[in-house]
Structure formats: C-alpha cells, structure tokens
Amino acid sequence: MLKSNFNASHDFIFAKLHGMWANAAKDDRLDKLIHAENVESLVRMLMEFNLDASKRNAFYRNLIMRDIETLSSIAALLDDGTAGFYRSFIERTYFENVKVLLNYHFFPRRETNISYLLVDIPGVPPVDIPKLTSIKDVEEFLREFPKLHYCEEIDAIVRRLDADRDIIIAECELDKLAYKNKLVAADKVPSGIRSQCKEMIRMAIDIVNLCTLLRNVHTYHLDRDRISEMWIGGGKAMSLGKLTELSDCESVLEAVSRLPSEFQNVLLPFYDAELYVSENALWTMLYKCAKQHFSDYNHSDLSIIAFPFLKRFETLNLRRVYEGMHFGIKSSDMHDMMIRS
C-alpha cells in the first residue's frame, strides 16, 4: 500500500492543489476539447493534460493511471488519515479490476485482451492473467486471486457468483465495498474536515442509488427483492427502505415527486428527458458541493478533501469527450454530457 512520507502544511498543499486544478480540463479548456476537429486533433490536445490517447484500447487505462499518479503524489504529502482517504479513491480501481477478472473468468470471451482493462495499483501484485484464467476450481481461483482489502467479503462474492452466475449482483456487492472503503477512510481524516468529507461520500451514495432507482422505474422494472439487493448503504438523505418503496412507482415523474426536496427540485425539470440528463444533474450537485469546499479560502484544509472528487469529475468528462469524438457525437450534445457548474 501507499505510505504517506511527508506531512506538509495545509497552506502548501492548498496552493499546490489550486495550481493543479487551474490547469485541469475544465471551463474553457474543456470547451476546446469538445470542439476538436477530429480524433487526431483531440489526441494532440490531450497531450497537454499528460494523457496519451493515441491508442484507443489503452486510453481508458492511461486515464485512470493519470488519476492514480496525481492522487498518489498528493497522498505522499498528507497526514496518515487524509492520505488514507486519498488511497480509498485510488483503491476504487482495485474493485473495478475485480469486476473485470470475474467477468472474464465466469463469462469468458477468449478473444478479449483484458490486460488493457486492468490497471496496476500500488501495493497490489500484478495479475498473472493466463494462470488465473486457466483455473477451474473456485477455491484454487480464490487462493490465486489478488487481494487488497475485505478478503472474506470478496471470497463470499466470488463463491456466490460461482453458484448463481449473477454478475449484476456481484458487481453491486463490489460497489458496496468500494463505498464502504471510502466511508471507513473518511472516519480517519482530521476531525475538522471529517463531517464535510463524509457528507460528500454519502451524497455520492445517494446519487448512485437514485440513478439505479430511475433506471429501474424507467426501464428494468425489477421486483422489490431483486432491486433491494442493489442499494448501497450509507447514504445521506435516502433510506434503503424508501428506495425500495419508490421502486414500485409507475413513472419517473411519480418517483421524482416523492423524493426529498433537494433531489426533487433538481430532477423535476428533466423527468421526461433522457435518463443521462437526470443523472448528470445529480452528479452536478456533488460537483458543486466539492467545488464550494475547494474554493473556501477561509478553510484551506477543505480543498484537500474536495480535490479527489473534482479530479474524478475531470476524468469522467475527459472520458466522455473521447468517447463522443469516436462516436461522432455533435459538440452541442457533448456539452450536455459534461459535469460542470
């Protein structure tokens, strides 16, 4: 695992983070990417952000590696508790790696080169893909499986998947562990920033659950028993029981009308639009919250806990611009896909 090796002053880190964010892919710089003439032009422009986009099959891995390197460099300057919070963002990639490995092992498509889908994480040994994917026995598979955190929980997920082949539930359980990891890490940051730190994570959990709720009401229509297994615990405003109750709604409008006012006010204008519009509106709430903390010059330490969230949104926007260019999406439509204030 990463170790914090230097506890710099918050004023120093505040200045460093604001310098990094000033050069991020946001505002006018993001607009220039959206209006790139073609893929080749976009690739050249992304080099300004220390991002190699020349090979599409490696781009997404390069994008995540860029995040890991940035967050790791900041974590090395922080106290142990706050460095652990940064590591929880880095370690989210571990849970995504697990999803890739489980999909490939239990639902193999041998023509797929999953090396492009796996991201190296500090402190986790590289995966021996040929060896791991050749194993048939689930217990032997688990012995060879790369472990970082929550070993017993991951073993239980894999054994259940071996029995029921329900990859959707397995991925939901991994998402739960990833957010649990963040909440545990947030409990260890200094007390002066702990409540704001946990508030942003809990808001993120609410948003993930609401996105699941809207998709279910609009498209999937899963029954209560099924959908109740997908909720992530620990949210701020939405209880799991309330989410399950709302899953029975006949329409998105009905579901949105029964949400707490903070979400209802954001979502009502978009109840009949494409779902991604509502999802973007929800994530923009968190973006604005993180940006407000980041810009609080009277509490410079808040910028430290806000930065990983802002970095995540920058990465998501870069991914959407790249995908949009490859799929020929108009720049005007790409504007609507961005998460920004």
The answer on pLDDT for 6 being more than 70 is no
The answer on pLDDT for 299 being more than 80 is yes
Res 1: pLDDT: 38
Reported as a single tens digit per residue, the pLDDT across 158-188 is: 999 999 999 999 999 999 999 999 999 999 9
Q: Is the dihedral of CA 251, 256, 258, 259 positive or negative?
A: positive
Res 91: pLDDT: 96
Question: Percent of the chain, pLDDT > 90?
Answer: 86
Res 130: pLDDT: 85
The overall average pLDDT reported for the chain is 94
Question: Percent of the chain, pLDDT > 70?
Answer: 97
Reported as a single tens digit per residue, the pLDDT across 11-40 is: 899 999 999 999 999 999 999 999 999 999
The answer on pLDDT for 7 being more than 90 is no
Reported as a single tens digit per residue, the pLDDT across 191-220 is: 999 999 999 999 999 999 999 999 999 999
For residue 280, give every residue at least 6 positions away whose Cβ sits within 8 Å of its Cβ, in sequence order, or none.
336, 337, 338, 339
Cβ-contact 238, 260 below 8 angstroms: yes
Q: pTM here?
A: 0.95
Average pLDDT estimate for 54-73:
94
Res 206: pLDDT: 98
The answer on pLDDT for 110 being more than 90 is no
How many alpha carbons fall within 13 Å on the CB side of residue 90? Answer: 26
Confidence of residue 2 (pLDDT cuts 50, 70, 90): very low
